[in-house]
Copies of this chain bind each other. A is one copy, B any other.
Amino acid sequence: MTPDRPVTATDVARRAGVSQATVSLVLSNNPRARVAEATRARVIRIAEELGYRPNVVAQSLVSRRSFALGLLVPDLSNPFYASVASGAERVAAEEGYALMLAETVEVTAARHLEAWRARQIDGVILDALGARALRDVPGMAQMNVVMVDEPSSTFPGVASDALSAGRQMAEHLLGLGHRRIAILGPATDVHGVRQRERGVVQALRSAGLTLPSNWLLRVPPTAAGGELGMRTLLAGAERPTAVACLNDLIAVGAMKAAARTGVAVPRQVSIIGCDDLELARLVTPELTTIAVPARELGARAARLLVRRLAGQGAPASTRMLPVRLVVRGTTAAPEGSA
């Protein structure tokens, strides 16, 4: 009964009657390794027989690379971030990297980044993390970072075209004839979200509308937040005929509040969201929203990171992914506008 410890390159070497270095040379198929064909074949065969697997930790120690990527998201319970994670994971796995995942909901971003740095992580993807959160992370500058939905001058990234998303939301409502449009969105310093808001506001201004300050309501970026916000709007003296919600969870919460209050959607009030979560097609009526390619964002971010690690230095710019309006059942012309 052997101690059953994992097979090492030394074990293989012994069995093959060569030095451990030769085994390494063969198995790492180092292009500059000039090994006799017979030896090579034998080593490979024996390695196979013994079930040899290189110890990645040892490889990491000498190469100073861990072949691991980190992904930091605000909160996995938001399906949007789950999709980003899914996309990033797929690419990481394809490229032979392990993916470490962390949320910033309980533990701070800085702590996770420090822990990862100690593990020699090769690079990290930061999703919706205000640049502020990176301020006091030591050694941040030396890290390979890709930002998602948070353009940065120092790090490359990928982002959805949030400004356009906001504009499209507003323009769709305006096009339907709405003039009394409210906004429901979170108070946040996440660039992507703020751009959505800015897009809406700009489009409203361009149409010559002014946005009453009490029609730009700050709520948590959750269904509960949307419900709360919508209730407030509906309780106001003058009601909006349409509400632009800066994400789908908020929008669905708003729909809920409308239903509870007996306000018909879209007849009495139109609601538009942003993200196009699967959820959007599951509520009744189906949610009109802006499709944002979450999974693609994650996948591209991972791909960009891997490429940079391979030395194919992409510029520190942010690649913008298009978004598009998806008209469903929660928007219509305002009542009595026929």
Contacts and interface: CB of A to CB of B under 8 A. Distances in A.
B98 A99 contact: no
A247 to B, nearest CB: 13
A49 interface: no
A155 interface: no
A94 B106 CA distance: 9
A282 interface: yes
A264 to B, nearest CB: 12
A178 B285 CA distance: 28
A118 interface: yes
Interface in A243-291: 252-253, 256, 259, 278-279, 281-284
A89 B77 contact: no
Interface residues of A, number: 59
A227 B220 CA distance: 32
A72 to B, nearest CB: 11
Contact of A89 (B103, B118, B256): B103
A247 B264 CA distance: 29
Contacts of A102: 89, 93, 99
A94 B107 CA distance: 8
Contact of A101 (B85, B117, B252): B85
A146 to B, nearest CB: 17
Contacts of A237: none
B282 A284 contact: no
A80 to B, nearest CB: 11
Given A76-B89, A101-B99, A120 B56 contact: yes
A115 interface: yes
Interface stretch (A57-65, A165-173, A193-201, A318-326): A57-65
A158 interface: no
Contacts of A82: 76-77, 79, 82
A315 interface: no
A77 B79 contact: yes
B278 A77 contact: yes
Contacts of A241: none
A56 to B, nearest CB: 4
Contact of A115 (B55, B58, B98): B98
A57 B6 CA distance: 18
Contacts of A86: 75-77, 103
A75 B79 CA distance: 12
Given A57-B66, A76-B89, A82-B82, 15 more contacts: A51-B139, A54-B118, A55-B120, A57-B119, A76-B76, A76-B82, A76-B85, A89-B101, A89-B102, A93-B106, A93-B111, A94-B106, A99-B101, A253-B282, A259-B284
17 contacts: A4-B142, A6-B139, A53-B118, A55-B120, A56-B118, A57-B119, A76-B82, A77-B83, A77-B295, A79-B79, A79-B82, A90-B103, A94-B106, A98-B119, A99-B100, A252-B282, A284-B284
